[in-house]
Amino acid sequence: MLRIVPATGERLPPALELLLSEWPATARTQRIVEIHQEIEDEEFDPQDLLLAEIDDQLVGVQLTILRDDDVGMVWPPVVDRPLLKRMSGPTGEVIEDELLAEAARQLDAEGAWIGQALLELNPSREHAAMQRNGFSRMTELRFFERPLIGSSSWAKRAKASPLSYQPYRRSRNRVAFVNVLESTYRGSLDCPELNGVRDGQQSLKNHEAAGSIQPDMWRMYRRAGVDVGILLMTERPDQQAWEVLYLGVLESARGCGIGRAMLLDALDAARDAKVERLLIVADVRNVPAVSLYESLGFQPVATRVAFVRLAKK
Domain count, the chain: 2
The CATH number of the domain holding residue 147 is 3.40.630.30
Q: Does 309 fall in a domain?
A: no
Q: What is the pLDDT of residue 14?
A: 96
Q: What is the pLDDT of residues 246-291, one digit of tens each?
A: 999 999 999 889 999 999 999 999 999 999 999 999 999 999 999 9
Q: 53 with 171, same domain?
A: no
Q: 148 with 278, same domain?
A: yes
- Answer yes or no: is pLDDT of 186 > 90: no
- Is residue 53 within 8 Å of residue 15, measured between CB atoms? no
Q: 63 with 183, same domain?
A: no
> What's the predicted TM-score (pTM) here?
0.88
Q: Does 247 fall in a domain?
A: yes
Q: 49 with 130, same domain?
A: yes
Q: What is the pLDDT of residue 149?
A: 83
Quote the domain boundaries for residue 101: 2-134
* Final residue in a domain of this structure, among 76, 111, 134: 134
* Final residue in a domain of this structure, among 83, 116, 134: 134
Q: What is the pLDDT of residues 95-128, one digit of tens each?
A: 999 999 999 999 999 999 899 999 999 888 999 9
Q: 294 with 193, same domain?
A: yes
Mean pLDDT taken over the chain: 90
Q: 289 with 229, same domain?
A: yes
Q: What is the pLDDT of residue 171?
A: 80
Q: 149 with 290, same domain?
A: yes
Q: 114 with 45, same domain?
A: yes
Strands annotated E in the chain: 2-6, 49-54, 57-66, 71-74, 78-79, 114-119, 136-147, 163-167, 218-223, 226-236, 241-249, 277-283, 299-310
* Final residue in a domain of this structure, among 134, 167, 183: 134
High-pLDDT (> 70) share of the chain, %: 93
Q: 113 with 166, same domain?
A: no
Q: Alpha-carbon distance 123 to 17, whole Å?
A: 25
